[in-house]
Structure 1
Amino acid sequence: MSTQTIPAKAPARLLQERNIWLATNRPDGRPHLTPIWFVWQEDKIFICMKPDSVKARNLAANNAVALSLEDGSDVVICEGTAEYVAPPWSPALMAAFKAKYNWQIDEDKDYGHVMAITPQKWLSWGPA
């Protein structure tokens, strides 16, 4: 199934699952794939990274991304665009990372580069 509307099973999984796979594009066109912590909030996927990481540099040059939840039998894939979110971050966003990972993002000096992914296309197959 390919759709602009989020699959019915996706919101609950986005709230519960710990990791998501993030695909970005290197300047030479090669893909870069990495697992990353995330939160689902306000119909966006928020991720944090080091500002000098490969993924951050890739996103600065090309903000197109693909994300996939870990289960290869019950697939949820999102294609979208990433946008930098400057601090101060909303209390709700900080609380979401704290609740999910026991991680206070505003106190982490290394991983303080927050990006918001706006979904543009969803793909899903497997059990309903």
Structure 2
Amino acid sequence: MTVREPARSREQRKQDVLDHLEKDEDAWVSTASADGVPTLVPLSFVWDDGTLLMATRRTNPTAVNLTPSGQARIALGPTRDVVLIEATAELVEGADLPQTSGDAFAAKLSWDLRGRPSWVYLRFTPYAIRAWREENELAGRELMADGHWLDGEPHADEQ
């Protein structure tokens, strides 16, 4: 029998999510085409001014799928420490990317795509974030709603 860790507080979970966003390099990104065909791909990212910044070829399904819906789901961490993010997304041309964002991406990932016309940046703005490790953290797993971090411990209706 495995002894589980006690459930983390919402504040600790938020800090753990922020640590993932700062330190992790890769995430799973899920999008769907206009006719509902799903795509799931791993992409490298940098946490940049409250958004996840990624890049891919402009013809890849992930980039193409962002245009019709502007929606994506992103997963970080292993299955026993999952961070699930729902986000709006936009395509950003390398020439339109703020210098500081491009520099942050290149510094973290040792990869600078500015000036490569076949590539685009994808900027994901989270509007909902959930995080949990085990069943004992399912209650109160919602950490962000409507683009705002939730404060305090979960209310009864979040259980």
Is the aligned partner of 1:93 residue 2:107? no
Larger fraction in strand: 1
How many residue pairs match? The answer is: 124
Structure 2 spans left out of the alignment, 5+ residues: 1-9, 138-159
For residues 25 and 96 of structure 1, what CA distance do their matches in structure 2 show?
28
1:17 aligns to what?
24
Percent identity for Structure 1 against Structure 2: 25
Larger fraction in helix: 2
1:45 aligns to what?
52
Match of 1:126, as an amino acid? R
Q: CA deviation at 1:91?
A: 1.9
Q: CA deviation at 1:85?
A: 2.1
Residue of structure 1 aligned with 2:123, choices 111, 116, 119: 116
1:75 touches 1:126 (CA, 8 Å); kept in 2?
A: yes
For residues 114 and 75 of structure 2, what CA distance do their matches in structure 1 show?
26
Residue of structure 2 aligned with 1:65, choices 56, 64, 72: 72
Q: CA deviation at 1:71?
A: 1.3
Compare 70-79 and 82-91 and name the one that shifted more: 82-91
1:54 aligns to what?
61
Q: CA deviation at 1:75?
A: 0.7
- Which structure has more relative contact order (CA 8 Å, sep 6+)? It is 1
Structure 1 spans left out of the alignment, 5+ residues: none
